[in-house]
Structure 1
Amino acid sequence: MNYTLNQLRVFLKIVQTESVTKASEELFLSQPAVSIQLKNFQDQFPIPLTEVVGRKIQITDFGREIAESAEQILQQVQAIDFKTAAYKGLLAGRLRISIVSTAKYVMPYFLTDFMNLHPEVKLQMDVTNKQKVIESLENNEIDFALVSLLPSKMKVEKLDLLDNNLYLVGKTGIDFKPDQKVEEIFKNLPLIFREEGSGTRQTMEKFIEDQNLTVIKRMELATNEAVKQSILAGLGFSIMPLIGLRNELETGKLQIIPCPGLPITTEWQLIWREGKKHSPVSEEFLAYLKIHKEEIIADKFAWCN
């Protein structure tokens, strides 16, 4: 056997994604490069690691066992790297964060300088839907989550990071009369909703309920990015967080529609399980945020406050 750590990483990612294409995307490698690594790794075993059924790759039982061993080996290698850094007096370890999709416009700015200060810290950040974020928190698989609405059935501690302002948004070129009542604005407005469970959707539905509005539901989409692209295409309107709209507003592709009761302001909150024992890395990150968050907000988010 003469396999390399890189081959182990590539094979493990293929198993996790069950796709050479997705593995190449997540590893930032070309698809041919991933295929070559897989072939070279497979050539060292007399038993198939994968099978191709139709056009889909299937992992054999033997392949899954090898993947489990590969994951353990890579974890041990990372542990060696962390211990080496610790002996050198450097902060080292893994910072695990899960965020809802819209938070991708927020979280990176609170991470950049911290990661630059501590190059031995490895970041694992999952961008997914709210349900999976909460599941990761419940299962203690992550250090922190970033959400705009707190989970209702879990005790958490939190650090408020940034205001989350939501406005009624539409494509430019459509005029709205000034000083219209909220009922008149929404009367014939086709609305685009986020999926069930989304914090943005919950906020939007509460506004509709509080205002006692009858609305036209045009469609339901899984991400704020999909909602934004649909608005740009002229498919409808939505109540959306301002944070992801900077470019479209500055270039005049989208407009904020003045509406009584808007904006709605929630809060981007970094949360963790109540009583969680933080690792040295997560404890240091939390301390860093408490000291620097106002400075980061002033530097990176002044435009949306």
Structure 2
Amino acid sequence: MAKQSTRVSRKLRRLLTFRQLEVLHAVAETQGVGSAADKLNLTQPSASMQLKKLSDHLGSPLYEVLGRKLNLTESGELAVAAAQDIFARLEQLEVDLNALQGLHAGTLRIGIVTSAEYFVPHILGPFCKAYPDIDVHLAVGNRREMNQRLADNLDDLYFFADQPELEQHEAVSVGANKLLVIASAKHPLAGRQSVQWQDLASDTVLLREEGSGSRRLLEKHLSSLGHSLPKYRVIASNEGIKHAVLAQLGIAVVSAHTLDHGANKNLVQLNVDDFPINSQWYLVSHRDKKFSVLAQAFREFLLHEGGEMLNEGLAYWEQHRQPRLPRK
């Protein structure tokens, strides 16, 4: 029996490819062959061919589609688990090699919620300038997607606007995050010195999807004040929300960092009592993460120079009522 197992193992080693496992892993992540192909910059036929080859090699179907839902078979679940083990070992190999090479090579993997995409690249810039030979993989998604990436330990570090629910994480504050009430410059309350939340009862609030960091912070803040949300619409992106506000479809509560200096001049901050919401940006990692030399160096950079860049941008906002992107 041991001999047969060895022969099968050698056969798989000869026939399986990392690309096949990568495609299957992406299918498990995205719940679709087409979306997995997009993620890996493949055509859908190419991704389907890789999956068929893997299924033929393993002698078992890997997934089934019922209606619109894709479900992994038991064989598919086992293959995904094996792929994760292989990728984790390769990642550890990169960590070990980075330790030998110092900061002159390697890949830095960062996951950020969409609100953070406005400032993280500006913090990354000085670090990458100091270490021009490193590669950076920046994954951007909503809170649910980043929670899943964190649970799967896919990246070195994450930016969250509110601490994640996952127990196996470590979080540290890296800078201030202020959530402002914004409206079109044509809003009837624009320019008023003091506005009560009740004055906005007839307005539509434009919100991100349920569970997003900004929405969670707003709901907690209003609850603590004894207020509730008026009617609202859900819009899936910060840019979409800003354009909807410009079109006078409603008001919104957004992070100051999404409003860079000199842009969106037709957006105004409403002077609502008990706002802005004072929160923090959190730098998060999986509790079991083994940092490479590169990831550890970037973490230290974020906790010092990166945090200073963030807070200096908001200090500008305190003086000019208009935030400024981080700069060095």
Could you tell me the TM-score, scaled by structure 2's length?
0.67
Say whether the 8 Å CA contact 1:98–1:128 is kept in structure 2: no
- Aligned pair count reads 302
Say whether the 8 Å CA contact 2:112–2:146 is kept in structure 1: no
Q: Taking every aligned residue pair, what percent have the same amino acid on both sides?
A: 26
- The amino acid across from 1:304 in the alignment is P
CA apart distance, 1:23: 0.7
Quickly say closer, same or farther: Cα 1:208–1:180, change in 2 above 3 A: farther
Identify the residue that residue 27 of structure 2 maps to in structure 1.
14
Quickly say closer, same or farther: Cα 1:45–1:158, change in 2 above 3 A: closer
- Out of 190, 195, 206, the residue aligned to residue 192 of structure 1 is 206
Identify the residue that residue 236 of structure 1 maps to in structure 2.
250
List per-residue Cα deviations over 1:137-165 (Å, max 9, x = no partner): 8x98876443344579989662433x323
SS in structure 2 at match of 1:250: coil
Could you tell me the TM-score, scaled by structure 1's length?
0.71
Say whether the 8 Å CA contact 1:189–1:216 is kept in structure 2: yes
- The amino acid across from 2:116 in the alignment is A
**Mapping 1:1-305, distance limit 5 Å:** 1-54=14-67, 56-90=69-103, 98-114=111-127, 117=131, 119=133, 123=137, 125=139, 127-129=141-143, 133=147, 136=150, 144-149=157-162, 158-161=172-175, 163-176=176-189, 178-179=191-192, 181-183=194-196, 185-194=199-208, 198-205=212-219, 208=222, 216-220=230-234, 224-225=238-239, 227-246=241-260, 250-252=263-265, 254-271=267-284, 280-293=293-306, 296-297=309-310, 304-305=323-324
Q: Quote the Cα distance in structure 2 between the aligned partners of 1:271 and 1:70.
A: 25
Gaps of 5+ in 1: none
CA apart distance, 1:95: 5.5
CA apart distance, 1:13: 1.4
Q: Quote the Cα distance in structure 1 between the aligned partners of 2:289 and 2:91.
A: 23
* Deviates further, 168-177 or 204-213: 204-213
SS in structure 2 at match of 1:25: helix
Say whether the 8 Å CA contact 2:206–2:252 is kept in structure 1: yes
SS in structure 2 at match of 1:165: strand
Q: Give the RMSD, CA atoms, in angstroms.
A: 4.5
Say whether the 8 Å CA contact 2:99–2:292 is kept in structure 1: no
List per-residue Cα deviations over 1:236-284 (Å, max 9, x = no partner): 212222222349x725453333445544443323256899986544432
